[in-house]
Structure 1
Amino acid sequence: MSDALTLPAETRDRAGKGASRALRREGRVPAVIYGGKEEPTPIHVEERVLVKQLGTGHFMNSIIEIELGGKKLRTLPKDVALHPVSDRPLHVDFLRLAKGAKVDVNVPVVFENEEASPGLKKGGVLNVVRHELELVCDADKIPSEITIDVTGKEVGDSIHISEVTLPEGSESAITDRDFTIATVVAPSALKRSEAEEGEEVAADDVPASEQSDEEGESEEDAGEE
């Protein structure tokens, strides 16, 4: 499970674009806590601390304990707006978590035992269709990643969600189909070689007279240039 992160915050007294710009000039990032059948709570957090937590790589699927007014509020980040040029955080939405709540999260996929895949050992390539899985999890049991074993996989094999054992308290948010997560495909070098061979065969099928005409036309074009 992803470790809980602690984020100190202060209440925002003023709303609006002007107030938000003023906060950002002071090194603060406006945010809001919503959900839990309570009124939204506008807050602001220190940009430096937020950026550090964003850099962990698992901020979006971690429980964030927001320290506000001497209390800790358990939340889950739902959206981070970034500046289109500088990537500085501009605003954050946090979902307030009630006890026993279930949440939708995107959890990264990690593959293991690639050396035990005959297809990969032969030079095949693991084509990852989904780098993340959309899961419904207990708020206290959000996995940091989902590990998938590729032992025994041959070229042409696919890995579907039905083959994956999800952690206790987690289930796939997509239930209407057995979707593909990854496939083992032939190496690109082999595909290029086959394509080149196909082009050579196609050229051999063209009558010699037509090939000569095409060569003659190319020489004439070159002369005109």
Structure 2
Amino acid sequence: MKFVAFERAKQGTGASRRLRITGRTPGIVYGGSAEPLLVELDHNALWHAIKKEAFHASILDMEFAGKESKVLLRNVQMHPFKQLILHIDFQRVEANTKLSMKVPLHFSGEENSPAAKVDACLINHVVTDLEVACLPADLPEFIAVDLSGLVKGKSLHAADLTLPKGVTVVTHGKANPVIVAVVAPVEEVAAPVAAAPAADAKGKGKGKK
């Protein structure tokens, strides 16, 4: 995806507030060997861009002063209740430096798995994205997760995923985190029918002649 950024001359709370009134969003680009760069972006174009999955999980082409550079979206600060982007952060991407990034998981085949189709298990997506480490050229837009082989009593872990070449999972200390949990259905036990009290039965018997 591509977006256009413009130089932001002034900084500070007051300057940022005035910038937002004109329909612009303040931002910053940092990382790499260059100094941090203050930028501003068109708010309407940015608002539509952040609704797209690829804007959050892929390398972006930023056009600035007639030149293009590669960046990653790192943070979006939203207004508490207004549809307003207050600030946005980007990180420069260097071709030979590994990066870490959260990548969305795209699930498929769940309804055809033995766990769901035969055993009526509950399939719980524990996570919907996964942090990975790789070179910029190897960064996937998403990771496809085939759930058609799920069976009762066995969950899917990070080690079970088929990752693109050059991509590794960042686990932050967790050896093999669960991606999808398979929960067996709760078996319903029929409640016993209450027997009529013995006293009532005897009373009915006495009343008959």
Please state whether the residue corresponding to 1:140 is helix, strand or coil. Answer: helix
| d(CA) in 1 for partners of 2:85, 2:111 | 40
Q: 1:169, CA displacement in angstroms?
A: 2.2
Residue of structure 1 equivalent to 2:54: 58
Residue of structure 2 equivalent to 1:181: 179
Q: Is 2:138 the partner of 1:152?
A: no
| d(CA) in 1 for partners of 2:136, 2:149 | 34
Q: Is 2:131 the partner of 1:131?
A: no
Q: 1:160, CA displacement in angstroms?
A: 0.9
Percent identical across equivalent pairs? 33
Q: Which consecutive segments of 4 or more residues in structure 1 shift more than 6 A?
A: none
Give the TM-score of the pair, scaled to structure 2: 0.85
Q: Is 2:177 the partner of 1:168?
A: no
Match among 19, 24, 36 for residue 40 of structure 1: 36
Aligned AA (1:56):
K
Q: 1:175, CA displacement in angstroms?
A: 6.6
Residue of structure 2 equivalent to 1:49: 45
Q: 1:108, CA displacement in angstroms?
A: 1.3
| d(CA) in 2 for partners of 1:119, 1:67 | 48
The answer as to whether partners of 2:61 and 2:68 remain within 8 angstroms in 1 is: yes
Residue of structure 2 equivalent to 1:111: 107
Aligned AA (2:108):
E
| d(CA) in 2 for partners of 1:179, 1:69 | 44
1:52-105 Cα deviation digits (max 9, x unpaired) = 111112211121211111111211010000111024211111001112222111
Residue of structure 2 equivalent to 1:102: 98
Aligned AA (1:107):
V
Count residues in correspondence: 193
Aligned AA (1:163):
D
Give the TM-score of the pair, scaled to structure 1: 0.79
Q: Larger % of helix: which?
A: 1
Q: 1:140, CA displacement in angstroms?
A: 2.0
The answer as to whether partners of 2:106 and 2:142 remain within 8 angstroms in 1 is: yes
Relative distance call for 1:79 and 1:175 in structure 2 (3 A) is closer
The answer as to whether partners of 2:57 and 2:104 remain within 8 angstroms in 1 is: no
- For structure 2, the 5+ residue unaligned runs are 198-209
| d(CA) in 2 for partners of 1:66, 1:170 | 24
1:92-132 Cα deviation digits (max 9, x unpaired) = 11001112222111111122222431110032121111111
- For structure 1, the 5+ residue unaligned runs are 209-225
1:137-170 Cα deviation digits (max 9, x unpaired) = 2212221211122233222211011111111121
